[in-house]
Amino acid sequence: MQITVVGGGIIGCAAAWRLAQGGARVTVCDRGRMGGEARWAGAGMLAPGGEFGEDSRWGRLGVESLALYPGFVAELEAATGRRIDFRVCGAVEIAGEAKEMERRVAAQRRMGIRVEEMGEGRWWYPDEAVVNPRDVVAALRAAGEGLGVECREGVEVTRGEGEVTVWATGAWGPGAYPVKGHLIRYDLAPGSLPRIIRKGHYYVLQRATGETIAGADMERVGFDRTLREAAVEEIRGAAEEMVPKLRGVGVVEAWNGFRPGSESGEPVVGRRGESGEWDAYGHFRNGILLAPVTARLLCDGILPSGGRG
């Protein structure tokens, strides 16, 4: 089977690798650079507890995808010889209003999210993790190419090609729109922030290198890449309130990226009618988290026997 994946972000690259493992001949086309958009910008917080407050299909798929991550990373590392900065570190959530948090926790527990009360308005999510999305996209590309996936950069595709086309076009999918977010980086000693800390939509996490990333605001301003100083200041204030040892360290880098929002508020994943075209975009704040499970859903739908022989 010949498959064209349009979009070389984490969703497209994960789908391409898994589809190639299932025996398909896969070409990935990206009109820019592979992994050049949301996954370049993303912090890499794998945190259903921070993202899903209502019992929902995609919340449950988020839990499933988080559970797939250790195997996904180990398999990619073994296939490519590359190291991926991935750590199951847990997350501390600084809760807002107590009644609302209890309602949220009850819904999360129904979805299988483990969460424990720590006292003083803090909640502990032991299974949550961080990953460097740039490492993942680079390894997915290498693993895919090792199986014969052809990667074509600077190529725009506007209509279905081959037997199957997968539209992994992020914020550029039909009805999708960009939700801009800023992130900032501090450099601390490695290991000095062992857990994710978050409050509302702000969070701080640390990579193995000690690079400490804080985010993120949400703005609907189209594809405007201007760095907004007020947003950077807002995130700096929130980060330094959550993690006081950041005060005085100094922000070394600030950037922004576009999350792919969708009209329904949920990822758009599935077949377009009876056609050979499949959608896989609109993952909003959770593209990195949902990449393994999205690739599995696509394989199940596209390949005979889901690619499992």
211 strand-pairing partners? 187
**Cβ closer to ligand GLY: 3 or 168?**
168
180 binds ligand GLY (CB under 6 A): no
Check if the beta carbon of residue 88 is closer than 8 Å to that of residue 72: no
CB 12 within 8 A of CB 30: yes
Identified binder of ligand GLY from the candidate list 133, 181, 260, 261, rule CB under 6 A: 181
Confirm or reject binding of residue 178 to ligand GLY (CB under 6 A). Answer: no
For residue 59, state whether it binds ligand GLY (rule: CB under 6 A). Answer: no
Told to check if 215 binds ligand GLY by CB under 6 A, we report yes
Nearer to ligand GLY, 45 or 147 (CB): 45
Using the minimum distance from each CB to ligand GLY, give the nearer residue, 182 or 296: 182
Question: Strand, helix or coil at 68?
Answer: helix
Is the CB of residue 183 less than 8 Å from the CB of residue 214?
yes
Residue 198 touching ligand GLY (CB under 6 A): no
Tell which one of 104, 195, 207, 285 touches ligand GLY (CB under 6 A): 285
Q: Is 182 in the site for ligand GLY (CB under 6 A)?
A: no
Residue 235 is a binding residue for ligand GLY (CB under 6 A)? no
Q: Does 283 bind ligand GLY (CB under 6 A)?
A: no
Taking CB under 6 A as the criterion, the residue among 61, 216, 254, 295 binding ligand GLY is 216
Which is nearer to ligand GLY, 8 or 215 (by Cβ)? 215
Answer yes or no: are the C-beta atoms of 122 and 93 closer than 8 Å.
yes
- Binding ligand GLY (rule: CB under 6 A), the pick from 3, 28, 34, 45 is 45
DSSP string for 132-199: -HHHHHHHHHHHHHHTT-EEEES----S--SSEEEE--GGGSTT-EEEEEEEEEEE--TTS--SEEEE
Size of the site for ligand GLY (CB under 6 A): 6
Q: For residue 8, what is the DSSP state?
A: -
Least gap, CB of 129 to ligand GLY (angstroms): 12
Q: At 41, is the secondary structure helix, strand, or coil?
A: helix
Distance CA 143, CA 156 (A): 23
Shortest reach from residue 238's CB to ligand GLY, in Å: 12
Cβ neighbour number for residue 119 with a 10 Å cutoff: 6
Can you give the binding site for ligand GLY, defined by CB under 6 A? 45, 181, 215-216, 259, 285
